[in-house]
Amino acid sequence: MTPLRVAVIGGSRYFGRLLVDRLRTSGAHVTLVNRGSTPAPPGVDHVRADRDDEEALRAALAGRTFDVVLDQVCSTPTQAAVARRVFAGRTARYVMTSTIEVYAPPALGSVREPVREPVREPVREPAPEPAPEPAPESAPESAPGAPHPTGPRPGQPPALRAPGPRPVPLPEDAFDPTTWPVDLTLPWHDPTFRDAHYAEGKRQAEAVFATDPPFPFVAVRSAHVLGGADFTGRLAHYVDRARAGTPILVHRDPRPSSFTHPREIADFLHFTALADFTGPVNARSHGELTVTDLGAHLTPAPVYREVSPGEDASPYSFAHYYGMSNTRAESLGYHFSHTADWLPTILDEF
């Protein structure tokens, strides 16, 4: 059988490396497309190009075609527009690694916002009455918002314990990229602007690909990827503060969110490369976590402090709920782990 010809744009930093390994071990022929800051692993074709430079990218890819492109580093509509033009007629399928942040409440006023419908708010159901039973030790999916086996410990400040109304995880249609306005005139080339508008950049990138796509297109909306190798240092932030006895800054009523393991998201992207479904798909482990669920695994136990107005909270403290449903991915045949299966191991990495 001819091996699957896969191009990975990125593939050299965090779970992108695991994705390349996963593809190689499954026998795919992998072409790595990046600027060449690090050497490619053995057995992988390496195309050095800056994806922001359309002509250079086109020239570097001359004569190559792919069964699937896995785009790990598309953060803006301008990058998506370049990729659309360069890869049209060059790939039979295109998978963009997107993010849970597309469901985050848009920061109105922070970008020159076009008139738009808001991202659909999560439905809120009344909190269960009476209070739910504590979850069994080997809990399967905990009801969203219900206490989790790794939940806050007794003695934590009441403000950090209130479960609040029971949120319902968002399905993919809570954000429809085909109706989302795109503004290519914003300064997407500016890294400071791009970082400050990460969620909006991802929304507009999805919109560019999803509208009248020139190839079958999938947006994998990844949950927060929890791992020691996270180059952004988000998990390290918690470990370092717990060890130093420095307070972890949290919202008054931190909401749960969706998480996944680096190997799981790499495996799910591999699954998606081999499949033939299209459209957006959420990817997350079972078992939502709040910031205090994370902290409950830390030794020594962390100290928390509520953020003051205008102060930034710690990376995984969320003021709003926008957890994702993984029902679509599971109905397509992928089975996700439970965060309780791997969270303690992740924290052992430090």
Q: Is 225 near ligand NAP (CB under 6 A)?
A: yes
Smallest gap from Cβ 41 to ligand NAP, in A, equals 12
Figure out which of the listed residues 4, 12, 80, 239 binds ligand NAP, where binding follows CB under 6 A.
12
- The answer to whether 326 and 284 are in contact (CB under 8 A) is yes
Omega within 30 of 0 (cis) for the link into 130:
yes
Residues 228-287 that bind ligand NAP (CB under 6 A): 230
Q: Which is nearer to ligand NAP, 38 or 65 (CB)?
A: 38
What distance in Å separates the CA atoms of residue 21 and residue 116, rounded to the nearest whole number? 41
Q: Is 34 near ligand NAP (CB under 6 A)?
A: yes
Q: Which stretch binds ligand NAP (CB under 6 A): 35-43, 144-152, 267-275, 339-347?
A: 35-43
E strand or H helix at 240, and its extent?
A: helix 234-244
In one letter, which amino acid is 290?
A: T
Annotate 83-128 with DSSP letters as a single string.
HHHHHTTTBS-EEEEEEGGGGSPP-TTSS-PPS-PPPPPPPEEPPP
Smallest gap from Cβ 52 to ligand NAP, in A, equals 5
Smallest gap from Cβ 146 to ligand NAP, in A, equals 24
Q: Which stretch binds ligand NAP (CB under 6 A): 30-38, 177-185, 245-253, 295-303?
A: 30-38
Q: Which is nearer to ligand NAP, 135 or 170 (CB)?
A: 170
- Residue 56's Cβ-count burial label (10 Å; 0-12, 13-18, 19+) is middle
Smallest gap from Cβ 203 to ligand NAP, in A, equals 12
Nearest residue to the partner ligand NAP, using Cβ: 16
Q: Is 50 near ligand NAP (CB under 6 A)?
A: yes
58 φ, ψ to 5°?
A: -60, -45
Q: Which stretch binds ligand NAP (CB under 6 A): 189-197, 209-217, 222-230, 320-328?
A: 222-230
Please, what is the Cα angle at 151 between 145 and 154, to 5 degrees?
A: 120
Q: Is 6 near ligand NAP (CB under 6 A)?
A: no
Q: Which stretch binds ligand NAP (CB under 6 A): 14-22, 147-155, 242-250, 285-293?
A: 14-22
What distance in Å separates the CA atoms of residue 334 and residue 285, rounded to the nearest whole number? 11
Q: Which stretch binds ligand NAP (CB under 6 A): 7-15, 107-115, 129-137, 319-327?
A: 7-15
Return the bridge partners of 281, or none: 220
**Could you identify the residue written with the tokens 């419908």?**
117
Name the pairing type of β-strands 45-48 and 124-125. unpaired
Return the bridge partners of 224, or none: 259
Letters for 59-98 (x = contact with ligand NAP by CB under 6 A, - = none) are -------------xx-----------------------x-
List interacting residues with ligand NAP (CB under 6 A): 10-17, 34-38, 50-52, 72-73, 97, 99, 222, 224-225, 230
